[in-house]
A = this chain, B = another copy of it.
Amino acid sequence: MKKQIVIIGGSAAGPKVAAKSRRMDKDTEINLYTQSNYVSYSACGLPYYIGQDVKNINKLIVRTPEEFEKNNIHIHLHRHCQKIIPSEKMVIINEEKIKYDELVIATGARAKIPNIKNVNLKNVFTLRFLEDGLLIKDIAQRSKSVLIIGFGYIGLEMLEAFLKNDLKVYIVENGNYPMSFFDEEFGEKIYQYIQEKNGKNVEIISNDIVVELKGSSHFKSAVTLNGREISADFCLIATGVTPNIELARECGIEIGVTGAIKTNNKMQTNIKNIWAAGDCTEKKCQITGLPIYVALGSIANKEGRVCAINLNGENETFDGILCSSATKYFDYTMSLTGITQTRAEKIKHLTGFEPISVTVNKMDKASYMPDAKPITVKLTADKKSGKILGAQGIGLGDVDKRINIVTSALQKHMSIWELLHLDLTYTPSTSGAIDPLLTACYELKKIIENDKN
């Protein structure tokens, strides 16, 4: 009998394991089960579908079930996995017993629902699945106003999407500023940019929490802790995600301190022949070695690849992440890699790092070029060792290039003394003779060395 590979979950990691496994071995039986109506699609693209940049939802689909079937991968939609029975190497899916030789848990994450009274009213949405995208686009086109609760990546991208649908947008955010995984001044900058660009159509309610939703059956308004009542046609909750680990936990799979499934660097769980990959797993920070949890499509893809390689008898490791991420609000980019000054200070007692940062405001290309645009780059390093810890960027210009250069540097534990020698490409139309990143590095070097003398 052929080796039976069973995969639970169909967004990014699951389909990746399936496709890669098939490429590695033509003779296995591969079955993938998902609760959704869709498989293998770009969930990250949904805001752009809702915002009408992407006209056809099919464009977000990487591979259809039919395309998988052509490669002899069987996709089962609308299936709910109730139980894993490791002792019998069996899963129960829609009451049916299914045997596996290798099981991959790729159950992903779900939207975190804050503790709000009446949160189950109709017209209250979260954005996670393709189906959510369809529903939200439909209501956005029929509405005049929306309330977003939460102001991270999804909140920001959906703000743009709703503005493109000519909605009045209210956003309630419990912090001082949006995008709280950046250092505060970056949140301040995006806040200011939103005000400048779309102030008329956006109202941001900071330092407040929604405690109750009102309406008889459908959402009508929200009441905040500070007593504000906000009326809108519908509501989007975007307060982060939580990994789907219940199925794993119930069968004895170890859950990490972050609340996500723990795996080794081959994506194996503690139970033999059970693997996990994607948004349901705990990650390791490459800089600190500490466990962390983030849900990112690029990581899910990489974990799926590593999982498939090991599951099919070859060798590959996934040795952690740098939490690199980026987003764009219209023409304004935010990007980060590694750890921020705020985060580094918070975990000082665990790492021993003495974080220090320098922020540089400069043009993204030679300042005399007519299309030069301002960017802000913040570089963070450990004062004792000079080791780079992370970088953040924001602005109308090309910040993402600079942040990814640091990503590559972080992977090899580069110090500021090494980074400042980087022989970056230079031409007036793409950068200055001294890149903003190198300027930041020179400044940081000066501070660290002066401090030592």
A-to-B contact residues, CB < 8 Å: 12, 42, 44-45, 48, 53-54, 59-60, 153, 286, 296-299, 301-302, 318-319, 321-328, 333, 335-337, 366-370, 398, 400-401, 403-409, 411-412, 414, 418, 421-431, 433-434
Contact = CB atoms under 8 A, between A and B. Distances in A.
Nearest to A323: B423
Contacts of A322: 423
Instruction: Report the copy number of this chain in the oligomer.
Output: 2
Nearest to A429: B328
Contact of A414 (B366, B368, B404, B411): B411
A400 B301 CA distance: 24
A329 to B, nearest CB: 10
Contacts of A366: 42, 44-45
A327 B425 CA distance: 9
Contact of A326 (B42, B53, B301, B426): B426
A404 B335 CA distance: 16
Contacts of A370: 53-54
Closest 7 CB pairs of A and B: A298-B426, A408-B408, A412-B412, A326-B425, A59-B368, A401-B401, A328-B429
Contacts of A423: 286, 298-299, 302, 321-324, 337, 407, 411
Given A318-B421, A319-B421, A325-B426, 6 more contacts: A44-B426, A326-B425, A337-B423, A400-B430, A407-B425, A412-B414
A398 B406 CA distance: 17
A404 B427 contact: no
B425 A404 contact: yes
Contact of A407 (B325, B405, B428): B405
Contacts of A368: 42, 45, 48, 54, 59-60
Nearest to A370: B53
Contacts of A408: 405-406, 408-409, 414, 422
A429 B286 CA distance: 26
A324 B369 contact: no
Given A54-B369, A325-B426, A407-B424, A433 B44 contact: yes
Nearest to A411: B422
A285 to B, nearest CB: 10
Contacts of A321: 423
B426 A369 contact: no
